[in-house]
Amino acid sequence: MKAFLILEDGTVFEGTSIGAKKEIISEIVFNTSMTGYLEVLTDPSYAGQAVTMTYPLIGNYGICYQDMESKKGWPDGFIVRELSRMPSNFRSEDTVQHFLEENDIPGICGIDTRALTKILREKGTMNGMITTNEDYNLDEILPKLKAYIVTGVVKKVSCDKKEEYVPGDIGSKEGKADKNVAVIDVGTKKNIIRCLLNRGCNVTVYPCDFDAKEVIASKPDGIMITNGPGDPSECTDIIEQIKILSEAGIPIFAICLGHQLMALAHGAKTYKMKYGHRGANHPVKNLETGKVYISSQNHGYVVDADSIDASVAKPWFVNVNDKTVEGLTYMGKKVKTVQFHPEANAGPKDSELLFDEFMNMIGGNK
């Protein structure tokens, strides 16, 4: 069946329909990773977006459900050059096509994803529609695309109620826990929780509408604020609760959206990037050590460096390519944040050591 990707600038790509047979309007973004498409598909940070994979062949190693980063697929749509329908991998349990159908995600294959990516890089991220309607009317569609705004996605991806995990859960190492960590779920990935479990922590996950006083009353040794989707400035209620958490004296480590929310809670500002950072090869520099890490990233917003009060926080990491803020250390507090994903293992597990630094903050490393 034919499918069409229509961008808000009027560009139309024709390809073949894959996945669910439904029409969607979404923000069109691209990811430059060569592997890890299942992790992309199950990353809650992609809620409200349709993802273009720049690598030309997707699906060749199939689907291994153990590698899922959450309970389901989250992107609104999936856009690929070529979809492998016959995966070859001893771990494969399913195909991408069937996964998309089961998760109600429509997609399109057979289009020039490199050309699409070039448009998004030159003109910036824009909205688009995936449709199988061959009689589409651009005059009717384009105003709808320009009016579309991603909203309410953090609530959509967060857990509904408090969840508890102990070492040995979700594929983590068995062992005795001697620390308790509260995780604020604004779109968490399983591996964030697993990294804490592997380091001897009991983990309590709180939904995004958490009460900071309840979290503090539970007396955790540390608090983790996770990644997540959407515009951070929209999360006004969460920001107010984070203000309370940050004044409690409990060590806090925040990732991605959590990093942005912490900055907003301390008076800084965020802005939307032209096309964001989404991929597994983004170099970031630790300003304290001078060491550069290759990081996995997925964000369209960034903390405005000029809005950071030097008496409140100082840059911890910067992006080597565009010099944007990739991490902050808060003055006089045990609070550190990073924009990238230390749990994502972009290659060597180099930046995962940031979890060890968090453990040092809470007195958990022996």
- Residues 97-153 pLDDT 10s: 999 999 999 999 999 999 999 999 999 999 999 999 999 999 999 999 999 999 999
Q: Kindly report the backbone phi and psi dihedral angles of residue 186, in degrees, each rounded to the nearest multiple of 5, phi listed first.
A: -110, 20
Per-residue pLDDT tens for 334-365?
999 999 999 987 666 778 899 999 999 999 76
Has 299 been annotated as catalytic?
A: no
Q: Over the stretch 93-108, which tens digit does the pLDDT of each residue have?
A: 999 999 999 999 999 9
Percent of the residues in the chain that have a pLDDT greater than 70, as a whole number? 98
Give pTM, 2 decimals. Answer: 0.96
pLDDT at position 318 is 98
Confidence of residue 313 (pLDDT cuts 50, 70, 90): very high
Instruction: List Cβ neighbours of 22 (8 Å cut-off, separation of 6 or more).
Output: 104, 106
Taking the C-alpha atoms of residue 322 and residue 319, their distance in angstroms, rounded to an integer, is 6
- Provide the β-strand partners of residue 18: 107
Residue 10 above 70 pLDDT?
yes
Q: Using CA atoms, how far apart are residues 148 and 161, in angstroms rounded to an integer? A: 30
* 323 class by beta-carbon count within 10 Å (0-12 exposed, 13-18 middle, 19+ buried): exposed
- Residues of each annotated binding site for L-glutamine: 45, 228, 230, 257, 260, 298, 300-301
The chain-wide mean pLDDT, for the chain, equals: 96
The model's pLDDT over 17-46, given as tens digits with 9 standing for 90+, comes to 999 999 999 999 999 999 999 999 999 999
240 is known as an active-site residue: no
Task: Tell me the fold of 2-150.
Answer: Glucose Oxidase; domain 1 (3.50.30)
Note the CATH number of domain 155-361: 3.40.50.880
Output b/e per residue, 157-186; b: 16+ Cβ within 10 A.
Answer: bbeeeebebebebeebeeeebebbbbbbbb
Mean pLDDT, residues 275-288 taken together: 95
Q: Which residues are annotated as a binding site?
A: 45, 228, 230, 257, 260, 298, 300-301
User: How far is residue 13's CA from residue 116's CA, in Å, rounded to a whole number?
Assistant: 8
DSSP E strands in 189-243: the ranges are 201-206, 222-225
Which of 259, 266, 299, 341 does the annotation list as catalytic? 341
Active site residue 277: no
Question: What is the model's pLDDT at position 344?
Answer: 82
**Sequence ranges of the domains in the chain:** 2-150, 155-361
Output the pLDDT for position 348: 62
Residue of 27, 39, 326, 343 marked catalytic: 343
366, pLDDT greater than 60: no
Q: Which residue has the tokens 């939904």?
A: 207
Pick from 120, 81, 98, 96: which is nearest to 36 by CA?
96
Which is the catalytic residue, given 195, 208, 235, 256? 256
